Structure 1
């Protein structure tokens, strides 16, 4: 359907046909599905099922260590039927839904979270990267993973190539274009014509700052292009946008996707993280300041170990380590060792996926099946993170079993603190209450110690008394941790600090209690880096890990980042699987270009802004998105870049563009977060029970990057328009086109309020209906209506009655052209 505005758009029901289509089933072999299987499903199978249903052991005829056999099933039929969880016997067994079929047969039923993961996995189509012949009995004697590092392109050091000589010397504007043009010629393709100036400006504004250009910006740009030409006008516009504070909000959000940023723990005990917003603000500020990427990573991995010359810088560096703290946590876990191991596992998974697009966490229970990461590599990294303490700022309550101290920051003028100070009287009362509860706790501990020693305790306590003490003490202790010695609120954040330094043992099949040999802290052995730092005995090794990752000889770090940036600007990465550079991922379409960009990126100071400037000033970026049949037949996926792809805007850009069109966008940053201001450190922090959170989480008029990111309860606009799953590292969001999106655009209070405000604004500013229509098109689509669109719009307005302007504005916000980018 044409992107141009048509009569059908004037009727709100028409918006449905612009959006609605059947949702495509997820690809079993997708990178996201494989990542979910490796992180959530395979470890459970190994630990809970392989003893009886793997290798030569096939009780009940069921073997679960192969993709084919788990689907074939055993004596009772198929164990897993993709997309049909209720018909899958495996799910029935682990749910204990059949009294004659309960797995695992020994011990307690699996947790509700694990069962939910298996249901989700089956609903996804049961993606399973294991080959049919890939038996995994837990034995890895024939593992040959290191062989992958010898030949796989991603594990070799990047090398810069001379740009190819091309026949057409007029088209390229730089080396990027020479690489692209040479590949096009090799594949019997040619580039598309340049996009129209207005189209290019809209593309540039959304890509760099996530907002549409204003009518004034459009007018000025068109005038400059007419007077000086595109080669002069474009660099000036790019430089202006790169200096905008909105640049950090746009590109900071891209990193927050990768950093799996969230403001609650997720899982069964979904408890809020009231201090997570500080990390969000750190990211936005760092991106705006163009902190070099190598330094940016180092601050997030080991900011607490870096030198600083002021309290302000110390607070900033401590906040940066929030990267390691904002991930999901099973706060309902009772076992201390398992909670710590799972916490470390999540940190390893997040860091290696984010920076290397390869998960070393897949080697927790077994050597990585496809990539050169052994269990020894995993536990060598685990020692680094186990030698650090994670501060996540929750307290024990009836909702969760885990408390995590908040990370106290130095006081800095102008710091935002949302939890309250106490009066001297209330502070003394709170301390007295804590002392009383602590005394009871000591008595409980003494009674337990006496029982273990076979003695009669001096005082006995009922289970209700024990739990009551724990649940009352948690909130009191949590509140005291946010106050100084005078009861004044102290600034706190999420983050990490070095703790007791230790090496950890390798766990057979990743199981707690099955400790093997101690593994010295180290880095993955298959990735060779010249002059790799050694880990000091007295520190965790996080700083050295950051130095290893940011070494210019590291084969993955710069490649992965450059590829992520390329994907955001061109719609597809040079490596299509942006989160998977392993042997099961895609090969680069332009390997010499990727390597050259990666090498230059590091040589030129790891600057994100320089990299983006180079890419958006290329002729490749200027191409139109016009469809060309012959080129499409040769390259339907556009991997050779014969045009710019049409792209659906992200949820945040769609929402922010509505606020711009209505004139309501508040461009100043939000102070804190709804989670911090509405819940904060109140005792009831469980998401499902808290009455302080409004039902409508979309309601703010600030930019969408400041909306609350509560796991399992996102604002509607984010969840409906494919926001990144905040529990997972996400370099590329899914993109769906489903009827519920159309229903949201037509019926949501947020969209209708923006349409009313936009109508009121236009009716006030426009002299007549013709000018109203023209300004509406400029605000929403960055262009003027053609004659047919103008006449149809005027006809609708003149026949629509009192609500005509409102209906017209909502229809404009519902058009496909509004939410898509040419």
Structure 2
């Protein structure tokens, strides 16, 4: 009963943490921006206040505003959804669909609201709040290793701290775990796989230490702890959200983590590379590849790339990055300070925007103008001769592409190459829909010119290199048929033309901003530049606007052409009668060059790319966003760090760089009181089943206090002294006597310490989803042990505007048998076993997973086609092991439970097999019978739990 209550409490705590994160990031800003002015401390329309939980619970004139868990019955939802004709809130505009979805999720999850304070019109009600003196903001303090009465029990310093607390409370440690139990525990904890049964069970201390060293050196250890690391870095292979875009190169970040752990790269170095790897010097191409790939940490978050409010998108990305690095590396809920000073911890809004300035000075997207945004794909260098060969290949490919583009221009831009010899080109000579400058709407003084031929119509326009930012020209087409059109702008090129003029394209799916390069090395006259292909609706509101804002040099405009992309464009009138010899020759040349390009590309692999970030060319400090609104800006805050956590020297913030490198240096400084503590506590949680601080991502005042504060500081300082070595830290813990205790418990410990905070015995742990799947594959003999490399081969380069791209995720079939670490990590669709066995939400850092025991888990193990398939494979292994039933039973137990059956179990299995099998059973019937028996083993608590 005690254990059940404890498990329920953990489940509730984990769920509450996720709900509160949603409230702080989405609901509180929404209420502040849209509701509090009319339903806050200064004004209460209809008697309703929404600035505290008590406010909406009490409600206004018509009663409580919310019915938690019941959206349809909640008056607030009826108002914001505009379902009530007489009650629509906010009255001036309906909330965005994304805001309504956030609000609906909050209500349906029970409307969790941490605003306990009773609202008062004076605003004086405040909750208890930690300050810089709070324990986690103080540097770790070295403590002497405590003495103990039972001096024979401790195996290392860890045990002294554990035993001293036990003895002080009149408790004794549990006896040692049986060698076979310890072998299974060690194998799963360090590798995530069952123990190798061909190796002897270590019974002596020196044999145990040797086994620990072997496991730490294995690739399986790197994979297992990479799985933990990917949890806290919210690794995924798609963006999530509505139009979920697959990340084709996310696997490179995963492999970076695996290889770093395998090579025992110091944890502080890994964190530095995550935040600023692209800014670090690289000794060679291999180092450059890994460092750039590491910054994928900042790019891999859940992002709504379709967000049309680009200012909001930019700030949402920064907020998500801050929330992730805060919880992952600092154990703080930084995101709460986006709208206001943190309610409980010493993190002010100024601290938040000091950090936000660093990440706002970092480019995470290619640009903030595309209708559907896109992350940055950074080309990676190769080694030595391979890089030289690839550069030569790229030069050849680019040269061919330039030639092909020039030929296409000659054939298509002016109807045919012969038209280029004319002084004047009529609109009817060009294919598609052509809008001449004479029909465009002009703002500012544009000069008409006929200086350089050819030109379309009566001439072309020039801004005369004057009045920058004061002149625009808008081309509005009459689209006869809804469809996709390539938009091409005609201009007069030359050496003194603008390096970049700005073109805005309004189309059916949004708005795009493009640059047009008008300068050339020598005067070439009329040129066409493609602005991309977009969807336009018949008689819809679409246009192309050319501006001279920010340009240097002459901006010229002649016409804008809209070419149907879904059909072959009609030949120009001049070429209808008979194709000119020049055009025929150019077409032949084009076909030959395209054939040559195809052959060249076939013979050489493309350059690898990685998702990454880059420093902005113009870093700047951020302004405080009052109430979190991007349109309500306050004072500018110099880029910096969390003031309450500053100790010792602090890296100076450069004026010409984002400050990401300095942020990484501060986070990994030995003077930072948080990072080392956070990391050792996480490892303790992974190995012991509960952290010294059980709220592993919250070291603030709303988190739990450490059960052994001196031990936590001791481990943190030792971790730093040992060079932030993960393997050394893990070995310390698993070599302790505390780790080797039995999980059996009772007596005084069960009464006095039911949660086992004093660690009088080992915690019993449920195997996580990856371990369960990998254990089945191991027993079945089908586990593919391929190390690293991509897991989702179907994902290639992504066209973010292609709505069909999300079908890769929603229609994905999980057919691989590699370790679960490599299974496709899509945000909206996970492996079915992961969904059932509490993999958790990868839209945020997973500090600790919920561990539930529900009926659907048993049903899954009984009925899942994938489980049945692997059970049949496992049956094949058992049947091939021996012709004798007794030995087959032994093999089945060993392969699934890593032990032999008891005599009673052996008899029960024999009885089951004999009673279920007829005399003329086929080989398939026998196989299915053994498979059902193996499924029974997999459904036992012994298979699913670790003693």
What is the TM-score normalised by the length of structure 1? 0.87
Distance 1:432 1:609 in 2: 58
The answer to whether residue 72 in structure 2 is matched with residue 79 in structure 1 is no
Alignment of 1:595-634 (within 5 A): 595-634=713-752
Q: 2:106 aligns with which of 99, 121, 141?
A: 121
Contact 1:298 1:546 in 2 (8 A): yes
Distance 2:307 2:810 in 1: 29
Alignment of 1:139-178 (within 5 A): 148-178=130-160
Q: 1:754 to 1:506 in 2, by over 3 A?
A: same
Q: 1:795 to 1:133 in 2, by over 3 A?
A: same
Distance 1:255 1:457 in 2: 52
Q: 1:200 to 1:455 in 2, by over 3 A?
A: closer
The answer to whether residue 638 in structure 2 is matched with residue 638 in structure 1 is no
CA offsets 1:553-580 (integer angstroms, 9 cap, x no match): 1111011111111111111111111111
Contact 1:574 1:588 in 2 (8 A): yes
The answer to whether residue 80 in structure 2 is matched with residue 107 in structure 1 is no
Cα drift, residue 783 of structure 1: 0.9
Contact 2:241 2:303 in 1 (8 A): yes
Alignment of 1:291-690 (within 5 A): 291-391=265-365, 401-412=372-383, 450=443, 457-460=474-477, 466-467=506-507, 473=532, 489-499=606-616, 500-674=618-792, 677-683=793-799, 690=806
CA offsets 1:727-750 (integer angstroms, 9 cap, x no match): 111110111222222221111121
The answer to whether residue 912 in structure 2 is matched with residue 796 in structure 1 is yes
Contact 1:149 1:527 in 2 (8 A): no
Distance 2:828 2:847 in 1: 20
Distance 2:804 2:891 in 1: 44
Tell me the secondary structure at the aligned position of residue 662 of structure 2. Answer: helix
Contact 2:364 2:375 in 1 (8 A): yes
CA offsets 1:638-692 (integer angstroms, 9 cap, x no match): 1111111111111000000000000110111253131xx2131254887876444
Q: 2:195 aligns with which of 199, 202, 213?
A: 213
Contact 1:631 1:642 in 2 (8 A): yes
What 5-or-longer segments of structure 1 have no aligned partner? 2-17, 477-482
- In our comparison, the structure showing a higher alpha carbon Rg is 2
- Equivalent residue number for residue 479 of structure 1: none
Distance 1:97 1:605 in 2: 61
CA offsets 1:726-782 (integer angstroms, 9 cap, x no match): 111111011122222222111112101110000011101123111111111111111
Distance 2:808 2:711 in 1: 51
Tell me the secondary structure at the aligned position of residue 754 of structure 2. Answer: coil
- Equivalent residue number for residue 260 of structure 1: 234
Q: 1:268 to 1:181 in 2, by over 3 A?
A: same
Q: 1:558 to 1:687 in 2, by over 3 A?
A: farther
Cα drift, residue 258 of structure 1: 0.7
Q: 1:378 to 1:68 in 2, by over 3 A?
A: same
Contact 1:265 1:329 in 2 (8 A): yes
Q: 1:313 to 1:135 in 2, by over 3 A?
A: farther
Cα drift, residue 78 of structure 1: 2.0
Matched residue pairs, number? 776
Q: 1:638 to 1:302 in 2, by over 3 A?
A: same
Q: 1:444 to 1:526 in 2, by over 3 A?
A: farther
Q: 1:24 to 1:537 in 2, by over 3 A?
A: closer
- Equivalent residue number for residue 32 of structure 1: 18
The answer to whether residue 831 in structure 2 is matched with residue 715 in structure 1 is yes
CA offsets 1:310-347 (integer angstroms, 9 cap, x no match): 11111110000000000011112112211111111111
- Equivalent residue number for residue 480 of structure 1: none
Cα drift, residue 714 of structure 1: 1.2
CA offsets 1:19-76 (integer angstroms, 9 cap, x no match): xx99998459933332222122212222222222221322222211112222232223
Distance 1:144 1:474 in 2: 55
Structure showing the higher helix proportion among its residues? 1
Tell me the secondary structure at the aligned position of residue 52 of structure 1. Answer: coil
Q: Which moved more, 1:293-302 or 1:122-131?
A: 122-131
Cα drift, residue 444 of structure 1: 12
Distance 1:687 1:666 in 2: 33
Cα drift, residue 603 of structure 1: 1.2
Contact 1:195 1:624 in 2 (8 A): yes
Higher RCO (C-alpha under 8 Å, 6+ residues apart): 1
The answer to whether residue 243 in structure 2 is matched with residue 269 in structure 1 is yes
Alignment of 1:192-211 (within 5 A): 192-211=174-193
Distance 1:595 1:292 in 2: 19
Q: 1:786 to 1:412 in 2, by over 3 A?
A: same
Cα drift, residue 191 of structure 1: 1.0
CA offsets 1:508-552 (integer angstroms, 9 cap, x no match): 111122122211111111112201111111111000011111111
Distance 1:301 1:747 in 2: 44
Distance 2:434 2:644 in 1: 50
Contact 1:684 1:690 in 2 (8 A): no
Structure showing the higher strand proportion among its residues? 2
Distance 1:432 1:747 in 2: 61
Tell me the secondary structure at the aligned position of residue 256 of structure 2. Answer: helix
CA offsets 1:440-465 (integer angstroms, 9 cap, x no match): 99989996885998987454366976
Q: RMSD between aligned alpha carbons? A: 3.6
Q: 1:442 to 1:245 in 2, by over 3 A?
A: farther
- Equivalent residue number for residue 181 of structure 1: 163
Contact 2:332 2:698 in 1 (8 A): yes
Distance 1:752 1:664 in 2: 13
- Equivalent residue number for residue 47 of structure 1: 33
Contact 1:242 1:609 in 2 (8 A): yes
Q: 1:447 to 1:323 in 2, by over 3 A?
A: farther
Q: 1:456 to 1:661 in 2, by over 3 A?
A: closer
Alignment of 1:779-818 (within 5 A): 779-801=895-917, 802=925, 803-818=928-943
Distance 1:649 1:432 in 2: 61
Tell me the secondary structure at the aligned position of residue 613 of structure 2. Answer: strand
Distance 1:441 1:575 in 2: 67
Contact 1:65 1:135 in 2 (8 A): no
Cα drift, residue 204 of structure 1: 0.6
What 5-or-longer segments of structure 2 have no aligned partner? 414-429, 445-468, 486-505, 513-530, 536-596, 918-924
Distance 1:117 1:27 in 2: 21
Distance 1:161 1:606 in 2: 19
Tell me the secondary structure at the aligned position of residue 516 of structure 1. Answer: strand
